[in-house]
Amino acid sequence: MQESTRSKLIVFSRLWAIPMFIFIVLSITVVIVGMDNRKNLMNLAVIGMGLMFVIQICQLVAAIIVRHRWLVCGSIVGLLASVFVMIWSIAASGAEQCRPPMIHPDDTDSTEVVPVDSAYFFEEGKQLSCKISAIIPEAAVRQTVGEWLNSYLGECYTGDMSDIQALVDFYGKYHVDSLRRIYEEGVPDFAELCYDVSMAKIYESDKVVTYSMMIYVDLGGAHPTTESIGATFCKDDGRQLKWDIVRNECMADLQDVMRQMLKDYFEVKTDDELMEYLQEVDDVKHIPLPVTPPYMTEKGFTFIYQQYEIAAYAVGMPGDTISYRRFKPYLTEWAKRLLPEND
């Protein structure tokens, strides 16, 4: 190899400062524009490390060509460090997405828009915040939806259930007081107490409407808890669809459906393998039905077990959606009339 070529490759293999310089420039830009979103910062780290990774690959090739042992070792260490930082940043960004947004009503730069047809409450204090957002349903189902909300938010409200804003205000203040009591009893400095409820409409036909509700609670313990709940209401009379949509003689057969659904969720094939994941279940042939009734969506009836209901916290909330066609034989005649016409 010509000496000039070798010298050029050595110089190139030492240009580790280029990606670092680019990354520093990006970081300074972030500070100038005032990016304070941790997810965006993590994404920036991924981009910066990605640039560094590409350059270091080239550096490694150059170091191998010139047979410079120390440059080869340095490039390999740099590559491993880049991969580690990228994986860590991606994981941190994903964890940030799982946390509920911290909304500040007086922050004019906030991107969250509260729909005009929603009831909304927000209050925060030192190491605590409470946010409740709920769609105001149409008049035909408003009373029943209010009763449904009340049953999950605390069952303490005794006012007009159709006044969703009053109900939301009541529980907002109720849970703020509860969080303050917990804070006064003593929590770690790093704890961020949180009560976050978000309700949305996820499905509607000419006969029914379905609302979902996500409840996120962090009381400073080992981990936060989350409830994912859905409910379908009949537009004619506001009636909520519960387990009585299933014919009595089909309840036993429905357990077979739940068992297969759980096998699919845990990706197992045998009953013995399934039992390794289940808790509070003595007989795999008699798996309890979810506490929350199934609800209608675009693709069918959705079934879901809440955290700790049937399995450990780490496995999440087991569940799945069963098509209307498959589930139809289990339904009462009244419930069948609520199905989409094409099913």
Note whether 217 and 171 are same-domain residues. Answer: yes
Q: Which domain holds residue 226?
A: 118-240
Domain end position, chosen among 203, 223, 240: 240
CATH code for the domain in which residue 184 is found: 3.30.565.40
Say which amino acid occupies 111. Answer: T
- What's the CA gap between 140 and 148, in Å, rounded? 14
Note whether 24 and 87 are same-domain residues. Answer: yes
88-142 residue pLDDT tens: 656 554 444 444 333 333 333 333 444 558 899 999 988 899 999 999 999 999 9
DSSP assignments along 279-328, one per residue: SS-S-TTSPPPPSSPPEE-SSEEEEEPPTTTSB-GGG---EEEEEHHHHG
Q: Is residue 113 part of a domain?
A: no
34: region left, alpha or beta (phi > 0 left; psi from -120 to 50 alpha): left
Q: What is the Cα gyration radius of the chain? A: 27
Among residues 136, 102, 108, the alpha carbon closest in space to that of 122 is found at 102
148-204 residue pLDDT tens: 999 999 999 999 999 999 999 999 999 999 999 988 888 777 888 999 999 999 999
Instruction: Please give the angle made by the CA atoms of 229, 275 and 287, to the nearest 5 degrees.
Output: 50
| Total domains, the chain | 3
Note whether 234 and 251 are same-domain residues. Answer: no
Q: What is the pTM of this model?
A: 0.65
